[in-house]
Amino acid sequence: MSEHSSHDSIYRDPRSQVDAFVFDQSVANVFDDMIRRSVPGYATVINMVGVLAGQYVKPGSVCYDLGCSLGAGTLAMRQFIAADGVRIVAVDNSPAMVEKCRGLVAQQNQAVPVDVLQDDINSVPIENASMVVVNFTLQFIEPDQRQRVLQRIYDGLLDGGVLIISEKIAFDSAAEQQMQTELHHSFKRLNGYSDLEIAQKRTALENVLIPDTLETHRQRLSNCGFAHQHVWFQCFNFASMIAFK
Ligand code: GEK
């Protein structure tokens, strides 16, 4: 997909005022480049979502990709689903993301049907699900709504169904928080972002992207009733968990 995406230079020039980050057309246009150069381990998480789909998706069920952006998780699931009679529902509330996502889904030559919905993950119906992917999106939901969103996912999963949740994470230890933040910024610098770009993006995301600790995630998942849950991937301050109903 990367060949369809333009280079992200949104925060390259100095701004007198940095507004809160929004998923508008300018972000959708460069999103694939932005997320790959900003999220350590992103490509691995996406590829492994395909592996997980091959392993866990059940015949006749529905897969959800909540906060799908350009549909990277959807395309990965679709490529590797082995079960029959499966449908994927990809959901995002950004019109620009949904439009581009629909185009990319239409270009992929795979049989599994995909519905791309412009909707809010706080309210979209979730039912008959064997796999739900929430990649780097719960972090944008109001913290006091996160338990409710996870509970709705749990309720819509079939017994034995799985939730994959990938997030930027925070750390209780100040020393670890500092180390992981520095490593994340080094990663971005090596991927061509300047210190100014990193600083302006950080300001834009303040109060918009609010990370939780792994402990908070574990607690929420167990509050929902998930039978067991594991961190299957972590790279610096980004991690992905799998939870089984
Ligand atoms: C990927 N999963 O490439 N309802 C629906 N969508 C929302 C909501 C909401 N309430 N809030 C935010 N979004 C993707 C990456 S990006 C992560 C996900 C990032 C959407 C928002 O429009 C955006 O497209 C996405 O969640 C988050 O694996 O940019 O760091």
Residue % of the chain over a pLDDT of 70: 98
- 136 within some domain: yes
Name residue 90's amino acid.
A
Q: Which atom of ligand 1 is nearest to the CA of 73?
A: 28
Residues with CB under 6 A from ligand 1: 23, 35, 67-69, 72-73, 91-94, 97, 120-122, 135-137, 140-141
Segment 182-237, tens digit of pLDDT? 999 999 999 998 898 888 889 888 988 999 999 999 999 999 999 999 999 999 99
Q: Total domain count for the chain? A: 1
Residue 183 CB partners (closer than 8 Å, separation 6+)? 40, 236, 237
Q: Which atom of ligand 1 is nearest to the CA of 97?
A: 24
Q: What pLDDT is attached to residue 154? A: 98
Max CA pair span of the chain: 54
Q: Nearest C-alpha to atom 19 of ligand 1 is from which residue?
A: 136
What does pLDDT average to over the chain?
Answer: 94
Q: What is the CATH number of the domain that holds 113?
A: 3.40.50.150
- Site to probe by mutation for ligand 1, drawn from 137, 201, 237 as the one with most ligand atoms within 8 Å of Cβ, is 137
Please say if the pLDDT value at position 3 is more than 70.
no
Q: What pLDDT is attached to residue 27? A: 83
Q: What pLDDT is attached to residue 5? A: 64
Q: What pLDDT is attached to residue 100? A: 96
- 190 within some domain: no
Please say if the pLDDT value at position 21 is more than 90.
no
- 10 within some domain: no
Mean pLDDT of 126-137: 98
The Å distance, Cα 83 to ligand 1 centre, comes to 27
Segment 59-99, tens digit of pLDDT? 999 999 999 999 999 999 999 999 999 999 999 999 999 99
Of 112, 28, 128, the closest CA to residue 76 belongs to 112
- 185 within some domain: no
Q: Kind of pairing, strands 228-235 and 114-118?
A: unpaired
The Å distance, Cα 24 to ligand 1 centre, comes to 11
**CB distance 73 to 47 below 8 Å:** no
Residue 114 domain boundaries: 42-170+208-244
The Å distance, Cα 202 to ligand 1 centre, comes to 17
**Which of 105-119, 156-170, 191-205 is the least confident region?**
191-205
- Site to probe by mutation for ligand 1, drawn from 92, 209, 210 as the one with most ligand atoms within 8 Å of Cβ, is 92
- 56 within some domain: yes
- The DSSP output letter for 142 is -
Q: Nearest C-alpha to atom 10 of ligand 1 is from which residue?
A: 120
Q: Nearest C-alpha to atom 4 of ligand 1 is from which residue?
A: 120
Of 103, 59, 57, the closest CA to residue 79 belongs to 57
Identify the band that residue 107 occupies on the pLDDT scale cut at 50, 70 and 90.
Answer: very high
Please say if the pLDDT value at position 2 is more than 60.
no
Q: Which atom of ligand 1 is nearest to the CA of 121?
A: 4
The pTM assigned to this predicted structure is: 0.96
Distance between CA atoms of residues 1 and 30, nearest Å: 11
- 77 within some domain: yes
Give bridge partners of residue 118 from the DSSP assignment.
Answer: 92
- 157 within some domain: yes
Q: Which atom of ligand 1 is nearest to the CA of 72?
A: 3
Identify the band that residue 104 occupies on the pLDDT scale cut at 50, 70 and 90.
Answer: very high
- Tell whether the torsion through CA atoms of 205, 206, 209 and 215 is positive or negative: positive
- 232 within some domain: yes
The Å distance, Cα 191 to ligand 1 centre, comes to 22
